[in-house]
């Protein structure tokens, strides 16, 4: 995939091999696994005020520090874990973000108890189907949408933090709720043609 002409990739990913691999292999592919959804939720919140490349470079550190993103384990973290994480150079050592990640794990489990899975709750906002955009250039890609506004509002009401609409829209792009690969990007069509997953998203609203 790395032999693909740069003009056929979204330009934001051209800064490093790590960025290109993330773009080519993960970004925009629909995610329905709760643990991976939790991982992206925490990583997108950690990115606030920083570059996504910073977070990608620390991703392995986050996986180690946050129990491979097991929300049940993270929800049990206490003051000792906060001190441990504040001393861990492998992650972003921001106390508010660390405490938010732990609180978000607890809120995540509450959502899962209510809806059967976080996947069902989240994908219900788009009726279980990825939104297919047709962005011709980076200037056409919004920072937020009405859907991200609605998700952000609901998450905040449920006690989640670092889930503003801009963060939520980046999360939606990452987990494939919206296919924002540009129209000339070689990844757009393959992702658009993926079969609808047998997710539990239809549980929302029952």
Instruction: Give the whole-angstrom CA distance, residue 204 versus residue 67.
Output: 28
In 3D, which of 151, 108, 119, 109 has the Cα closest to residue 32? 119
Q: How far apart are CA 191 and CA 202, in angstroms?
A: 21
What is the rounded distance in angstroms from the CA atom of residue 114 to the CA atom of residue 18?
A: 37
Of 12, 22, 26, 110, which residue is the catalytic one?
22
Catalytic residue (one of 27, 52, 62, 169): 52
The position carrying tokens 């934001």 is 12
114 is catalytic: no
Q: 39, 44, 123, 169: which is the annotated catalytic residue?
A: 44
**44 assigned to active site:** yes
Neighbouring residues of 173: CB distance < 8 A, sequence distance ≥ 6: 27, 28, 180
Exposure on the CB side of residue 144, measured as CA atoms within 13 A = 13
**121 belongs to the catalytic site:** no
Residues designated catalytic: 22, 44, 52
């Amino acid at each position: 995939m790395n032999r693909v002409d740069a003009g056929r990739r979204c330009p934001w990913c051209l800064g490093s091999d790590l960025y290109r691999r993330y773009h080519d292999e993960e970004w925009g592919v629909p995610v329905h696994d709760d643990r991976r959804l939790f991982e992206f939720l925490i990583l997108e919140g950690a990115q606030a005020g920083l570059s996504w490349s910073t977070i990608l470079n620390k991703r392995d550190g986050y996986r180690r520090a946050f129990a491979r993103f097991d929300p049940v384990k993270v929800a049990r973290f206490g003051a000792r874990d906060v001190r441990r994480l504040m001393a861990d150079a492998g992650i972003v050592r921001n106390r508010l973000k660390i405490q938010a990640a732990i609180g978000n794990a607890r809120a995540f489990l509450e959502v899962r108890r209510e809806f059967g899975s976080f996947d069902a709750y989240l994908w219900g906002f788009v009726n279980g189907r990825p939104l297919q955009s047709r962005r011709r250039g980076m200037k056409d890609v919004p920072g937020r949408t009405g859907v991200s506004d609605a998700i952000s509002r609901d998450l905040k009401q449920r006690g989640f933090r670092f889930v503003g609409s801009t963060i939520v829209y980046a999360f939606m792009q990452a987990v494939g709720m919206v296919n924002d690969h540009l129209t000339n990007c070689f990844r757009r069509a393959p992702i658009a043609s993926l079969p609808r997953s047998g997710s539990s998203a239809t549980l929302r609203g029952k």
